[in-house]
Structure 1
Amino acid sequence: MGRGSASSTPTSTLTWISWFCSLPGHEYFCEVTEDFIEDDFNLTGLNTMVPFWKEAMEMVLDVEPDEDASKIPDVSIVESSAEMLYGLVHQRFILTRVGLQAMAEKYESGVFGSCPRVYCVGCNVVPCGRSDVPGLDTVKLFCPNCNDIYVPPSSRFQGVDGAFFGTTFAHLFFQTYRELSPAPFWKAPSAGGSPLSPRSTSGSSSSRGSPFVNPNPHGGQKRAAGYVYVPRIYGFKVSERAKSGPRMHWLRLRPENPSELDMVDWRGRWIDEDDEYDDDEEDDDDDRQMEDFDPVI
């Protein structure tokens, strides 16, 4: 789809950046200011990653190209380079104070959607990438409540590169806006309703009383929805070693009080654990396949 159809009329004032952000599937993007793009410091290293750098920059900034048309490549190639250029600049822009504020407005408006997990009770999500290098993976959605990432529900986001949001933004966002981040711990309800039901505390007097205050100043400032689904057969819990067991049960568990956060080291290991950290271990933080606990018969 060319931009000429959107701004071919002389009276049109739509800029390339506004046009790009208004395309279907680009709702997650915010408009990067031209001052940010014109600052060479913010573009360090990008000229080696984007082909036809000069022509792409002219297209993004709505600068008239050179009169020598013989040196200008096919317009579709320049448009592709301009999209990559804007996406990589966007990755850096949303880490600034102005960019974080622009994304916070989208977050509070629910533009990014909500977590599909039932027990997260509609917690808003933010876009993120699993790599900072373009062309490796599409955009994903990070939930601050269950700390997991999900594929966007609409297929129109399958063409959006995850590197245009990067691996840092989602977590820096909730470090900056702690009032939007759930607390890293939760306390199960003592009475009334099932502890596994998200409605058991939503209607209780404790949740309607004084606002939630996290005693840990380094954690989130919002009450967490820490409910974990437990598979049962005739009322009995399914073993974690079973094929249908709660393989990811550990992922969504939260400590019941902030003092339990001091019982683990920076690696997430128990401090009183006898096993020492092996420096020869493979230092691979990439996503891994889920381990198969079932023995082969």
Structure 2
Amino acid sequence: MYARADIVLAPTADEDLNDEQREELESSARHLYGLIHARYVITSRGLSKMIEKYKKGDFGRCPRVLCYGQSLLPLGLSDIAYQKAVKLYCPRCEDLYSPKSSRHGSIDGAYFGSTFAHMLFMVYPGMIPSKSVERIRPRIFGFQVHEHAKLLRWQEKIRDQCVRKDSKVVKGP
């Protein structure tokens, strides 16, 4: 990778490049820009700009109904380039989604990194949304489905324990 950096940084006359070299130069420049971007978005200035984009919902909204249009954040699954495309992270349901746009779906996840979304909420803890505690109860003609009732009660018990545990952490001793 660094061997190609001299191609991007070295001053060359545009006429001296053939089409193949020009394409390699442009590809290397895009890659270098992406890696710089990954570092920039975790700086204080970068986080400040990204929180504004998050507030406006520039990265999209969570498609999950019970997230009520929660703003999404870009997240890389790998910090290594050319591994995975960028995904969109919902901080309410803590799930990942693929971007709807093929243009956005082709962006390398390493250009945002796996750190960005989590770092953003460490710096701006007031922006962490409350977790969704609503559950859909399976029913047929208004009656709960029996086989799932036991599982549902167990899930609610665990969820209530987590909510109580979270509220103790927030409130303190």
TM-score, structure 1 normalization: 0.48
1:69 alignment counterpart: 16
- Tell me which of 140, 144, 152 is aligned to 1:236: 144
After superposition, the C-alpha distances for 1:151-185 in whole angstroms (9 at most, x for unaligned) are 112222121111111111011111111121124xx
**CA–CA distance in structure 1, aligned partners of residues 87 and 139 of structure 2:** 31
Deviations 1:13-49 (A, max 9, x none): xxxxxxxxxxxxxxxxxxxxxxxxxxxxxxxxxxxx3
Question: Which residue of the other structure, out of 142, 150, 163, is the alignment partner of 2:89?
Answer: 142
Deviation at 1:50, TM superposition (A): 4.7
From the CA coordinates, give the structure whose radius of gyration is larger: 1
State the alpha-carbon separation in 2 of the partners of residues 82 and 231 from structure 1. 53
CA shift in 2, pair 1:134/1:70, >3 Å = closer
Q: Contact 1:51–1:81 (CA<8 Å) still a contact in 2?
A: no
Partner of 1:179: 126
How many angstroms apart in 1 are the aligned matches of 2:168 and 2:132? 17
- With the length of structure 2 as denominator, give the TM-score of the two structures: 0.79
- The two structures, once aligned, show a CA RMSD in angstroms of 3.0
Aligned mates of 2:75, 2:67 — CA distance in 1? 18
Q: Aligned partners of 2:166, 2:49: CA distance in 1, in Å?
A: 35
Contact 1:55 1:72 in 2 (8 A): no
Contact 1:232 / 1:238 at 8 angstroms: preserved in 2?
Answer: no
Task: Work out whether residues 120 and 226 of structure 1, in 8 Å CA contact, stay in contact via their aligned partners in 2.
Answer: no
1:53 maps to 2:5: yes
Are positions 1:227 and 2:173 aligned together?
A: no
Deviations 1:222-271 (A, max 9, x none): xx44322233334214646xxxx98xx79xx4733346666xxxxxxxxx
The whole-number CA distance in structure 2 between the counterparts of 1:79 and 1:122 is 37
Check 1:71–1:158 CA distance in 2 against 1; reply closer, same or farther (3 A cut). Answer: closer
Stretches of structure 2 lacking an aligned partner (at least 5 in a row)? none
1:117 is aligned, of 46, 64, 73, to 64
Write the mapping of 1:145-160 to structure 2, written as runs, cut at 5 A: 145-160=92-107
Deviations 1:44-84 (A, max 9, x none): xxxxx3552022246xxxxxx23593799611111111111
Offset of 1:89 from its aligned partner? 1.1
Q: 2:74 and 2:45 mapped to 1: Cα distance? A: 17
- Quickly say closer, same or farther: Cα 1:233–1:160, change in 2 above 3 A: same
Number of aligned residue pairs: give it. 161
Amino acid at match of 1:149: L
Comparing both structures, which one devotes a greater share of its residues to helix?
Answer: 2
Q: 1:160 to 1:50 in 2, by over 3 A?
A: farther
Runs of 4+ in 1 over 4 A off after TM superposition: 70-73, 258-262
Higher relative contact order (CA 8 A, sep 6+): 2
* Cα distance between partner residues in 2 of 1:238 and 1:77: 62
Give CA-to-partner distance per residue, 1:177-204, whole Å, 9 cap, x none.
1121124xxxxxxxxxxxxxxxxxxxxx
Equivalences for 1:284-295 in 2 at 5 Å? Answer: none
Sequence identity percentage: 37
* Selected match of 2:73 from 112, 126, 129: 126
Aligned pairs (5 A) from 1:1-297: 49-57=1-9, 65-67=11-13, 69=16, 74-183=21-130, 224-234=131-141, 235-237=143-145, 239=147, 253=159, 255-258=162-165
Distance change >3 Å, CA 112–CA 73, structure 1 → 2: same
Residues 71 and 90 in structure 2, CA contact (< 8 A), matched pair in contact too: yes
